Structure 1
Amino acid sequence: MGLTKTYKDGTTPTVCIIGAGFSGMCAAIRLQTQLNLDTYTIFELEPELGGTWWSNTYPGCACDVKSINYQFSFEPNYEWSKTYAGQQEILEYQRRVAKKYNLYEKIRFRTEITHAEWREELQQWVLDWTNWNTGETGQMFADIVFSGMGPLRIPQIPKQFDAFEGPKWHTAQWNHDYDLTNKRIAVVGSGASAIQVVPAIVDKVKKLEFYQRSATYIVPRRNTNNSALWKFLFKYVPFVHLLYYKLTYWASESTIRAFSTKWQHTPTRRIAMFLAWSYRFWQIRDKELRKKLTPNYILGCRRIVVSSDYFPALAKKNVSVHTARITDVKGTTLTLSDGSQQEVDALVLATGFHTQDILSEGLLTGKNGHDIMKVWGQDPKTYYGITSAETPNMFFLLGPNTGLGHNSVLFMIETSCEYAIMAIAHMMEKDLSSIQATPKACKDFVDEVEEKMKGMVWSSDCKSWYQNEQGKVTALWWSTCTHYWWRLRKFRHQHFVGIQRSTSRTYAL
């Protein structure tokens, strides 16, 4: 039986989509292709679509998931130039897909949703917006809202660096006007962005001071070029592309055991740790440097990064690796806890994002006038990261507990979006003005995730952006992508309640 595509009176809901990255694009395309619905508007703060792939333009920026899995399953790209695509190529892919589905006609660029409030009496969301180009403000009344804002969007910039008097910028706000040639550059942070930036700039700078808060597990990145023959086979020979896509997907799925602390998965985890150790030993010959670059925590509890040029870059003569804490910043001088000082010309902050601050305070007002950020804090109560009891008719894409440590998040975005589409179709079929997950369904999901996470490395003692301040993992899904899809392959109406359009009465579905 197909999806219901209109209400009984022939109308369709008005939809607001916040964000024009992969999540917002997926929502818009699926509304078009599965529900024939074009009564939607996309609000995008930036002047172009792309989300994180528009914002992050730092040297070396690329995806650490293989290209063939970092694309919409319904919109395959046969022309990826390499195994791992760079930022510009991913952005071009997004633009091509957006043009194909005429998304540009639906996007309001440089327009920010400054507040969204659920009005029970209207059974609608009222969204305040501001166009930062013109200063114009206004409101939109929407029956449905998709939040595609994503967790990696608000740069985390430690206050101590406000005192730095030279040029400084976060990797997500790269200063392309500053010439790095023959300059003394400080890079603070040792996550994925830093690991990509350092090799890309090391041969250009005079001196690179690298400040590592903690070492990172690195696995080799075999980034080969896709030949013309491969591209031909992908495009014209039946099933070649699909087979390669599936093999790559299942290879990534199989690595989930390396993140388990259960005794039966110990051999898998130890083999992975040995491979990471041997790779580090092979690439770093200097014992002191190798010691600095050796993690002191279990593999996987922080993000594992793929790179084949990071270790060689740090071994270069113009690089100094610092593991002491930065205690003072004066002028352009950094003082460390070991008493050493470094004078630099510019400061690059690869210090990550505010991943736990899912919503800014005051942005989202849900049922009964409650500020959702105050209700949730850093412990969001959602139904599979997609919706909640406090936010009727609102669907989060790449929401809480849907991030991954082993595979492509685009799979999770698509799966969440498909579930939201089923929920909207159910609303129209049953002639509902609103639908929301029950508090019990949300609590059961959050409780299960918390229990299952006890058997995963992400809940270990090492601190990571996966965890909130209490050490609870709120960013990741605990199992395979396939398991997430299996749970959400059908709409579970028993976990929701709705309000009938004609009677305005709440009833269980």
Structure 2
Amino acid sequence: MDTPLRPAPRARDAAAGSRRAPRVLVVGAGFGGLTVLRALLQAGHTDVTVLERADEVGGVWRDNTYPGAACDVPSSLYSWSWAPHPSWPRRYSQQPDILDYVRGVAAAEGLLPHVRTGTAVRRAVFDEGSRTWQVTVETGGRTEVLEADVLVPAVGQLSQPVVPALPGLDDFAGPAFHSARWRHDVDLTGKRVAVVGTGASAIQFVPGIVDRVGAMTVFQRSAPYVVPKPDRAYTRLHGAAFRALPPTQAFGRGLTRAISEWLNRSFTHRSVLTPALRAAWEVTLLVQVRDRRLRRRLRPDYPIGCKRVLFSNDWYPALAREHVEVVTEPVAEVLPHGVRTADGREHAADVLVWGTGFAATRFLETLEVTGVGGADLHEVWGGKAHAHLGLAVPGFPQMFVVYGPHTNLGGSSIIQMLEAQAGYVVQVVDALAAGRVECLDVRPEVAEAFEAEMGSRLADSVWTQCSNWYNDGGTVSTNWPGLAREYEHRLARVSFTEYHDLPAQPAVPARTRETAS
């Protein structure tokens, strides 16, 4: 039977000094994992290890190196609140600058000694006897099992590239790669390049390579809404002002946050911003694409905001180039020297680039996670991930999923959400260290109530009105239906009554174990 969680006696707190410090394992050294690591270190918890399968920190900004890769949130907000950077070269920074920022902050904050790179997590099993997580990792071909009291998967929603399972996929004779695995060794000069997909990555790399290729065919399943990007290069005066007068940069961050919250609200409530965005898109399309037939192909057939609204000043001009063709027929088959569309037409290509996005709704897909009673996390989810506050799953004690279900934002910086989640995890580890709790498992009825709330609030959102990467089977599992500040408020103080303390399991006598085996 579950043991209700009650505040422990103060005498127990006094004895906390004799307790073993909680051991925390974090999976992933991107923004999410490093945010949790820094928060725990700041709170005095030093037995924290971040497991990173790659050779360095950086997450998506390490992996996505395609031409033109950049953020569509201003850098003043797409940065840690505790690490303002006065030397951003642009309002919307590009991939190399963001990666340099992550590396630099990780080094300056003393985070790197806690990161184990080149270490892939294969499985995590909750041991009910010891009430710990047994995490199997592989480093350089060597396998070992690590033990932790708290497990924090922080692999993100955009880490697993998706390539459609098309006939003939392996028959293509030339180089074929996903935008998140860009082949810099492939010279595109003068080549016929086929690009499949017109999402957030494609609108950056297509303009980035259009002047090099000999011909380009862009295969569009659905047209995106693309509005102007108010970008600009910062001058030396900007940097000098930000360094000498930090409130000037803080003001920019605050203003950007306010505008982005307005955008967040427009996706779930009627707002004057929605028609304003649509008007901006209409004008941009009319001015930048003079060919009426092409304009018709580039007109979305769904409400603005249902798919991710994209920001670019050179997407439409790139598509309007004479050596670029936009094809709206679905790709049906990959051929050795091109692709065939559903209308039977063959399109020749020397290089094939997949701009087909990520498995955003398949949370923790690369991890095998086993909870109480041998429960498999992915079977429990049944194809639709859910977690209380986007963090905790019943039956998986003291596992907190960073950037989990219902924590993505439609129009703001995810780093705000990550910082709120890190603060929540710190409170749990504080309670463990002080002996106020033993092993927390979120109550099923609490998680169910949260999921019901999310379903109700998202039912009328714009994200349910078309097929997109936010939903799976018509149910939105990725996005938060409110403002970032609401999420921050809800995570500011852990409600321990939402959890029960998992009772210790009695040790199994050696003779019994032998008989059972």
TM bin (shorter chain): over 0.9
Q: How far does residue 286 in structure 1 lie from its aligned partner after superposition?
A: 0.9
Which whole-Å CA distance do the structure 2 matches of 1:127 and 1:53 have between them?
26
* Corresponding position of 2:160: 154
Alignment match of 1:421 (pick from 426, 429, 437) = 426
- Tell whether the 8 Å contact from 1:427 to 1:435 is kept in structure 2 after alignment: no
Q: How far does residue 491 in structure 1 lie from its aligned partner after superposition?
A: 1.4
* Corresponding position of 1:213: 221
Q: How far does residue 189 in structure 1 lie from its aligned partner after superposition?
A: 0.2
Which whole-Å CA distance do the structure 1 matches of 2:193 and 2:120 have between them?
34
Task: Note the alpha carbon deviations across 1:274-313, whole angstroms, 9 max, x for none.
Answer: 2222221121111111111110000111111110010011
Q: Secondary structure at the match of 1:192?
A: coil
User: Which has the larger displacement, 201-210 or 7-16?
Assistant: 7-16
Which whole-Å CA distance do the structure 2 matches of 1:239 and 1:353 have between them?
37
1:327 maps to a residue whose letter is: A
* Corresponding position of 2:514: none
2:151 maps to a residue whose letter is: V
2:22 is the counterpart of 1:18: no
2:302 is the counterpart of 1:297: yes
Which whole-Å CA distance do the structure 2 matches of 1:348 and 1:373 have between them?
30
- Tell whether the 8 Å contact from 2:333 to 2:341 is kept in structure 1 after alignment: yes
Alignment match of 1:109 (pick from 114, 117, 130) = 117
Q: Which runs of 5+ in 2 are unaligned?
A: 1-12, 508-517
Q: 1:6 to 1:92 in 2, by over 3 A?
A: farther
* Corresponding position of 1:384: 389
Runs of 4+ in 1 over 4 A off after TM superposition: 499-504
* Corresponding position of 1:465: 469
2:498 is the counterpart of 1:495: yes
2:471 maps to a residue whose letter is: Q
Alignment match of 2:245 (pick from 232, 237, 240) = 237
- Tell whether the 8 Å contact from 1:431 to 1:500 is kept in structure 2 after alignment: no
Which whole-Å CA distance do the structure 1 matches of 2:428 and 2:116 have between them?
26
User: Which has the larger displacement, 492-501 or 297-306?
Assistant: 492-501
Alignment match of 1:316 (pick from 318, 321, 324) = 321
1:277 maps to a residue whose letter is: E
Alignment match of 1:77 (pick from 77, 85, 102) = 85
Bigger RCO of structures 1 and 2 (CA < 8 A, at least 6 apart): 2
Q: How far does residue 351 in structure 1 lie from its aligned partner after superposition?
A: 0.8
1:19 maps to a residue whose letter is: G
- Tell whether the 8 Å contact from 1:284 to 1:312 is kept in structure 2 after alignment: yes
User: Which has the larger displacement, 423-432 or 213-222?
Assistant: 423-432
2:31 is the counterpart of 1:27: no
Which whole-Å CA distance do the structure 2 matches of 1:408 and 1:120 have between them?
38
Q: Secondary structure at the match of 1:394?
A: coil
* Corresponding position of 1:507: none
Task: Note the alpha carbon deviations across 1:55-84, whole angstroms, 9 max, x for none.
Answer: 111111111111111111011111100011
Q: How far does residue 453 in structure 1 lie from its aligned partner after superposition?
A: 0.5
Q: How far does residue 421 in structure 1 lie from its aligned partner after superposition?
A: 1.0
**What is the aligned residue count?**
493
* TM-score relative to the length of structure 1: 0.93
Which whole-Å CA distance do the structure 2 matches of 1:486 and 1:115 have between them?
33
* Corresponding position of 1:480: 483
2:147 is the counterpart of 1:144: no
Q: 1:490 to 1:137 in 2, by over 3 A?
A: same
Q: Secondary structure at the match of 2:113?
A: helix
Task: Note the alpha carbon deviations across 1:240-291, whole angstroms, 9 max, x for none.
Answer: 121111111111111124313x5xx254422322222222112111111111
Q: Secondary structure at the match of 2:193?
A: strand
Q: How far does residue 235 in structure 1 lie from its aligned partner after superposition?
A: 1.5
* Corresponding position of 2:57: 49
- Tell whether the 8 Å contact from 2:338 to 2:350 is kept in structure 1 after alignment: no
Q: 1:477 to 1:362 in 2, by over 3 A?
A: closer
Q: Secondary structure at the match of 2:446?
A: helix
* Corresponding position of 1:438: 443
Q: Secondary structure at the match of 2:475?
A: coil
1:377 maps to a residue whose letter is: G
Alignment match of 1:225 (pick from 223, 233, 236) = 233
Which whole-Å CA distance do the structure 1 matches of 2:502 and 2:23 have between them?
17
| Percent identity between the two aligned chains | 32
Alignment match of 1:254 (pick from 262, 275, 278) = 262
2:313 is the counterpart of 1:276: no
Q: 1:362 to 1:53 in 2, by over 3 A?
A: closer
Task: Note the alpha carbon deviations across 1:420-475, whole angstroms, 9 max, x for none.
Answer: 11122123334422112111111111100100012210111x1111001x210000
* Corresponding position of 1:193: 201
User: Which has the larger displacement, 151-160 or 272-281?
Assistant: 272-281
RMSD (Å) for aligned C-alpha atoms? 1.9
Q: 1:370 to 1:5 in 2, by over 3 A?
A: farther
Q: How far does residue 5 in structure 1 lie from its aligned partner after superposition?
A: 12
* TM-score relative to the length of structure 2: 0.92
- Tell whether the 8 Å contact from 2:443 to 2:498 is kept in structure 1 after alignment: yes
* Corresponding position of 2:70: 62
* Corresponding position of 1:360: 365
